[in-house]
Chain A
Amino acid sequence: MYRYDDYDHAIVQARVAQFRGQTERYLAGQLTDDEFRPLRLQNGLYIQRHGPMLRLAVPYGLISAAQLRRFADVARRYDRGFGHFTTRHNLQLNWVKLAEVPQILADLAQDELHAIQTSGNCIRNVTTDHFAGVAADEISDPRPWAEILRQWSSFHPEFAYLPRKFKVAISGATEDRAAIQVHDLGLQVVRDPNNSAEIGFKVYAGGGLGRTPLLGQVVREFLPWQHLLTYTEALVRVFNRYGRRDNAYKARIKILVKALGREEFAQQVEAEWAHLKDGPATLTTAEVERVTAQFAAPAYETLAEDDLCHLAHLREDKAFSRWVERNVQAHKVAGYAAVTLSLKKPGAAPGDASSEQMEAAADLAERYSFGEIRVSHEQNLILADVPQRELYTVWHRAKAAGLAAPTVGLIQDLIACPGGDFCSLANARSLPIAAAIQERFEDLDYQHDIGDLELNISGCMNSCGHHHLGAIGILGVDKNGEEWYQVTLGGRQGNDARIGEVIGRSFAAAEVPDAIERLITTYLAHRHADERFIDTFDRIGEEPFRNAAYPHPHQSRRVANG
């Protein structure tokens, strides 16, 4: 993974000192709340329901064992001994003290960690595929490109006060696992149609969830890699100059792209880019090689395709084979596998990890996976390079640490934001709904029978739980001070990304598990062999599901904005 040199260290250290000064001036009354707000946000610091929340960056989801131990230590020392992994690879601490944040950042900087631009109206953490570097369908490892973008976007002097936040996602594989079409800027690595030896990017702009969910539009079919930064700079400049600033809900780039239309927007970016193209920010082979070398494949052993002991364990231990079926993914190197450590279980918020669990994951990574961990946007941790022969041991150790729920991709692996229990923006709580659903479907046989199902919960229209992308999406809404939940169906991420559609009136909290179960029962009754929930939905359409969700027909009429 990328290791800091003296330049990177000096820049992060300078940020620690700068933020220490800003916090001291705020606490001394020299900065007003309004003046301090964007400064603290650009360091990931929110003022939340229970006090400050600090969002720490995990650039493109990659973290070393030492860094994860540092997170564990910080969570224990300055918080309540746990943290929350988000859908954008970051780690949130919910109970920090404002006055201690400068020291937290100083501690983190010792391990090349920070909270730079994890919030605020600036360019945010670049996200990518959690199987980057090990996926068989990869054209180019996206992580070097993500690191190049991280450096370019960090403390970019022109783009610290954009109309609104700006999120970039990049995928290097043919199957998109980074949800690039729902980002402000989505980059898909592709081969040059005229010369397959050269790579570049297909560029999507204007995607996003929130109040106005939109998929990104293709603004350039092929951007040669050399021009990644100049083109991106042109695109963000057009946004900075012409994005709306009169209404925060209309300020994302998606609104600008929609208002101008794809062609006009793309044309304006091209016109701006014409001035920057081939300028000093044009990437060099030397720089790409310098960064790429830091993501070189680890020293894999030469192993047989199948480990005989592993096969024996698979045959003899049903619980183990069930875990392997759901939590272990194929690897492009013979004899290796990628393991997902689940952060989902009833009674704990999805994505929550205790300091002990972080340390256990760090130990596992160090011992069995070259000392690296990935944070997935499904809020789990991934050991990407585990030898097959160690899987049985890894499973036992993961189980002891509460990280081995064999439910990856199943209903219990649902995605949820922290919701109204923690977040001051939320209209409703997410976690009790998540827990109620997880309890309803706790039976493992039932879960495995239902199979692949993406269920996403957001506590408000900001859509941090990506509810629009769930096969089943649940959105918390406020009705006269009460919490209600709107259900969407048919959403999906990936190459065929689609926004889910609302099926009808909202449900009271207590009705949600029953409604979800009726949807599931409908699926089970209609499915063909091996058909996933989403496939059945596509085949038979929304109506049977809607009828099941609302057994009393008069209730199913659509309600504007739920």
Chain B
Amino acid sequence: MANKQIIKERRLQDDAWKVVTLVDGEAPFDVCLPVGPLLVPVSVWKAKKACLIHREYEHGTPLGIWLAPEDDLAGIAADIDDFTVIAVHFPKFADGRGYSTARLLRERHGYDGELRAFGDIGRDQIFFLNRVGFDAFVIGEGKSAEDALAAFDDFPESYQGDAVQPLPLFRRRVA
């Protein structure tokens, strides 16, 4: 796992973050936290917040969280600045809720740390994911990360404002 690669700053980089998931029936406070930087689900963050903050304080282990499509931001809004990485899960690429989640994190809550997309995503999602504010991408299994790198430049221009370029084209258009 430590050698897995993700796309960041438009290139492939090694990545050490581990995703913690609950197995069926496992209670959030029961989960065993491995060493190293972790992306924990919201329920684990809430149950083990003190422990996670302690790890950061004592060992310098950065904090991370991952959000499911249905997760509401209200419950973690006050903690957002604590996270070095916020990851958003795409269980199916056709589930577009994570795109709204990203914009809300960036544009409403002012989150400026790493925003990572992971799950069922690949080259054909990168361009829009990047526009809504993701800056790190864990390409789905069986898909080519090298191929996905080409997608950042699929379109030279966009009509709407977004998390990267807040001004819509009509405010930038030069006749």
User: Out of B124, B131, B160, which one reaches A281, CB within 8 Å?
Assistant: B160
Q: Is A241 an interface residue (CB 8 A)?
A: yes
Contacts of A14 in B (CB 8 A): 154-156
Contact with A along B132-175 (1 / 0, CB 8 A): 10000000000010000000001111111110001111110101
Q: Is A2 an interface residue (CB 8 A)?
A: no
The chain A residue with its CB closest to the CB of B101 is: A241
Query: Which one of B51-59, B60-68, B91-99, B111-119 contacts A?
Result: B91-99
User: Out of B103, B167, B169, B173, which one reaches A158, CB within 8 Å?
Assistant: B103
A226 to chain B, nearest CB (A): 12
Contacts of B159 in A (CB 8 A): 11, 151-152, 154-156
Binding site for B on A (CB under 8 A): 5, 7, 10-11, 14-15, 18, 22, 30-31, 35, 38-39, 121, 151-152, 154-162, 229, 237, 240-241, 245, 275, 279-281, 283-284, 287, 290
Q: How far is the CA of A203 from the CA of B97 in the complex (A)?
A: 24
Given the interface contacts A38-B94, A157-B128, does A5 sit within 8 Å of B160 by beta carbon? no
The secondary-structure label for the interface of chain B is loop
Binding site for A on B (CB under 8 A): 93-97, 99-100, 103, 108, 122, 124, 127-129, 131-132, 144, 154-162, 166-171, 173, 175
Contacts of B131 in A (CB 8 A): 157
User: Out of A7, A35, A158, A283, which one reaches B124, CB within 8 Å?
Assistant: A35
Q: How far is the CA of A157 from the CA of B107 in the complex (A)?
A: 14
Contact yes or no, A5 B158, CB < 8 A: no
The chain A residue with its CB closest to the CB of B102 is: A158
Contacts of B167 in A (CB 8 A): 280
B92 to chain A, nearest CB (A): 9
Given the interface contacts A11-B159, A38-B94, does A159 sit within 8 Å of B99 by beta carbon? yes
Contacts of A275 in B (CB 8 A): 108
Contact yes or no, B97 A241, CB < 8 A: yes
Max chain A C-beta neighbours (<10 A), residue from B97, B103, B129, B171:
B97
Given the interface contacts A151-B169, A155-B155, A157-B131, does A281 sit within 8 Å of B100 by beta carbon? no
Q: How far is the CA of A159 from the CA of B129 in the complex (A)?
A: 11
Given the interface contacts A5-B175, A280-B168, does A161 sit within 8 Å of B94 by beta carbon? yes
Max chain B C-beta neighbours (<10 A), residue from A31, A155, A159:
A155
The 10 closest A-B pairs by CB, nearest first: A161-B96, A157-B131, A157-B128, A287-B170, A151-B159, A14-B155, A158-B99, A280-B161, A157-B132, A18-B154
Q: How far is the CA of A315 from the CA of B11 in the complex (A)?
A: 77
Contact yes or no, A159 B96, CB < 8 A: yes
Q: How far is the CA of A160 from the CA of B94 in the complex (A)?
A: 9
